[in-house]
Structures are given as structure tokens and as C-alpha cells.
Amino acid sequence: MSRGAVVEAAGAAGGAEVSGGSDAAGRADAAGEVGPSGETGVPEETGTGAPGASGGSSAGPSGGPGELEALQLRLAEFAAARDWQPFHTPKNLATALSVEAAELVEIFQWLTPEQSAAVMEDPETAGRVEDEVADVLAYLLQFCHALGVDAASALAAKIDRNERRFPRADRSGGAAPSNRTEPE
């Protein structure tokens, strides 16, 4: 997606990628963001595109029960330090999330199923995938924070509903397939 399209889709007021303030690859800074005035955030030091990467220690491997909350706090502090909160409205964050998800899809757009399964074998493509995943997660966490949604609880509740709606397959072949194949 062109930078102009990103600006048009996300809007400078959304705190999403806007002209100016990007690295040599044309990517936005740490949390997938460049400020409303084009100022950049803290340079990435982890090399992973981690949301809100700063000069301090970065978040370690995922898995801790409070890790999502810790990342949300880092993102909120990152935005507050740059006075971006007025721009982080639910609408702007949802728009930015959609733009970043489209950038992730773009990586896979013309690949065969076999090629798409092997994208992480190429270091450059793997880096792009990780950057876009980080951007999507950063905006999703900021969106949840703005609306007071507990992302982990919402996901757990959704999995519970899907487990009831789509019972385990009878591996003996006796169960008729559901007319619905994908969870909502």
C-alpha cells in the first residue's frame, strides 16, 4: 500500500503511518506510528519491530498472564510521551488496525499455499511479517485499551462460544459435518 493511501485510510489524526519519520525501508517507527506532526518515536533497538521498543529492556518471550497488560501500558506510555492520546480514538485506532492488517495480507497476496507456508524461511520476508504482526497487535491492544476491552478475556469467551457451537469432530466418521465451517 502506498504511503499516500495509508495517510488517506488512517488519517494523520489517527497517529498511523504518515509521511516523514520512517526508517530506510519506509516503515514507521516503534509501535507502528509516526506522530501527527511527522515526529518519530524511539528507534527500534530489538530488531523485532516490538511495539513501543525503547532503550530499556524489551519484553521477553510471550507467555506471562500479564504480558498483554504490560504491552498495553508500554504503548499508552509511548503515546502519552508524544501527546498522541487525542488522536487515539476508537475510530482512528480501528482504521489504523485495518491498514496494518492489509499490509500483512499484502505480503501473502500472490503466494501459493506452499510459498505462504515458507515465508519465515527468508529472513527479509520474515522480518516484514514480524513487523506487520507487531503493528497489528500494537493497534489492537491500543484499541482495546481505548474501549476498556480485556483482549485476553474476550478471546477466551469467544473460544468458549465456538467450542459450544462447533463440537469436536467425531473421528469415527459418525458425526455429520456442520453446515458452518468457520467461527464468527
CATH number at residue 154: 1.10.287.1080
The mean per-residue pLDDT over the stretch 68-79 comes to: 95
**Which domain range does residue 122 map to?**
3-52+70-163
User: CA 22 to CA 7: how far, in whole Å?
Assistant: 13
pLDDT for 42 beyond 70: no
Better-predicted residue by pLDDT, 56 or 149: 149
**Which candidate, 43, 52, 61, 63, places its Cα nearest to that of 137?**
52
What is the tens place of the pLDDT at every residue in 112-137?
A: 999 999 999 999 999 999 999 999 99
The mean per-residue pLDDT over the stretch 19-40 comes to: 40
Tell me, what's the pLDDT at 63?
63
- Is 84:93 a contact under the CB 8 Å cutoff? no
| Residue 139 domain flag | yes
Q: Helix, strand or coil for residue 40? A: strand
The count of domains in the chain is 1
Q: What band does 183 get if pLDDT is binned at 50, 70 and 90?
A: low
| Residue 170 domain flag | no
| Residue 171 domain flag | no
The mean per-residue pLDDT over the stretch 31-50 comes to: 39
Q: Model-level pTM?
A: 0.64
